[in-house]
Amino acid sequence: MAAFRELMVRLLGRWPESAPLDALVEERVDLGDVVRERVSYQVEPGDRVPAYLLLPRDLLPGERRAAVFAHHQHAGQFHLGKSEVIGLAGNPEQAYALELARRGYVVLAPDALCFEERGPYRGVLDPPDQQTAGRDSERFEFTSRVLHGSWLQTKLVWDMQRGLDYLQSRHEVDPARLGCIGHSLGGQQALFHAALDERIGAAVSSCGFASLAAVLRERVNHNFGAYVPGWLEHGDVGDLLGAVAPRPFLALNGASDSIFPIDGLHDSLAVARAAYETAGAGERLDAGVYLGGHGFSDEMRERAYAWLDRWLRA
């Protein structure tokens, strides 16, 4: 468990340089049941991340709540990011950050690199005539890092860890009760974040992974962040999931998901279950397979929220 985590940290190459958060609250909007803050914070020198922080309206003075990092999907829609998971744009099925805030969580929803304000469309939420600029941006962010001995996944994980630093800096957050959730790219990142950052107390991945062996067999092209050089020389996705043990992790997937073969999900879970059983935490790894494809249905989201409630509200 810890050994594979340490191995992955090494495989991820050169990590970014740290910098003070220098956090700012730029806007505050009362939505009735939720207060939405537009915030930004520094993740490395000269690189600020725009994000939304959602606060339950019923927070009492001095109260600290469980907090969740909500990572948005990919979908090839580089004009969207944080705004989709808070319900301002895009698919209402993806507004899981807002739904969690309405359940009482403090929720952080930032833009990942290349998306929304951190991409070529600079926060314009209307669909562009073509997405080539977004795809080119993601490819450049990957290839330029390769030249310096780093990878896009390294940057994605680093930015998520800095987001957790920001959550822990907020007086409304209980730093001992932190979780993460995401769909698709967000589900992939929930896995990486939980595996590499032990501050994550519980995680949910929706349609976020399958074994790399199954992905390669089906010749599926994924986002550039999915590729870590040397990974398959040491293990597969199941080994990364096993590194989360003994902390709670829930994997949800569509039975006919075309980009994450379902047998690759089961293979990954089988490997990870051995690690969880060794840690005496077999009940802390769970999974659900649902009719349909690459989506995050009402039924799936309700199960995801119940999982976070179980482990973060105790």
Is the Cβ–Cβ distance between 242 and 235 less than 8 Å?
Answer: no
CATH number where 215 lies: 3.40.50.1820
Decide if 92 is inside a domain.
yes
Decide if 28 is inside a domain.
no
Decide if 33 is inside a domain.
no
Decide if 80 is inside a domain.
yes
* Closest to 264 (Cα-Cα) out of 237, 282, 243: 237
pLDDT of 247-264, one tens digit each? 999 999 999 999 999 999
* Closest to 215 (Cα-Cα) out of 261, 183, 266: 261
Decide if 25 is inside a domain.
no
Instruction: Kindly tell me if the per-residue pLDDT of 314 is higher than 70.
Output: no
Q: Residue 1: its pLDDT value, please?
A: 66
Domain range spanning residue 228?
2-20+59-312
Q: Residue 5: its pLDDT value, please?
A: 96
The arithmetic mean of pLDDT across residues 119-143, rounded, is 92
Q: Residue 91 class from Cβ within 10 Å (0-12 exposed, 13-18 middle, 19+ buried)?
A: middle
The C-alpha atoms of residue 262 and residue 290 are separated, in whole angstroms, by 11
Cβ neighbours around 285 below 10 Å, total: 23
Find where tokens 């000269």 sit.
46
Q: Residue 254 class from Cβ within 10 Å (0-12 exposed, 13-18 middle, 19+ buried)?
A: buried
The arithmetic mean of pLDDT across residues 38-61, rounded, is 97
Q: What is the DSSP code (8-state) at residue 244? A: T
Dihedral sign for Cα atoms in the order 62, 305, 107, 298: negative
Cβ neighbours around 90 below 10 Å, total: 21
Decide if 53 is inside a domain.
no
Q: How far apart are the first and last CA of the chain?
A: 25
Instruction: Kindly tell me if the per-residue pLDDT of 80 is higher than 80.
Output: yes
Decide if 295 is inside a domain.
yes
The C-alpha atoms of residue 97 and residue 245 are separated, in whole angstroms, by 25
Structural domains counted in the chain: 1
The C-alpha atoms of residue 184 and residue 187 are separated, in whole angstroms, by 5
* Main-chain dihedrals φ then ψ at residue 29, nearest 5 degrees: -125, 125
Q: What is the DSSP code (8-state) at residue 314? A: -
For 33, the 3-state DSSP assignment is coil
pLDDT of 192-236, one tens digit each? 999 999 999 999 999 999 999 999 999 999 999 999 999 999 999
The model carries a pTM of 0.97
Is the Cβ–Cβ distance between 186 and 180 less than 8 Å?
Answer: no
Decide if 250 is inside a domain.
yes
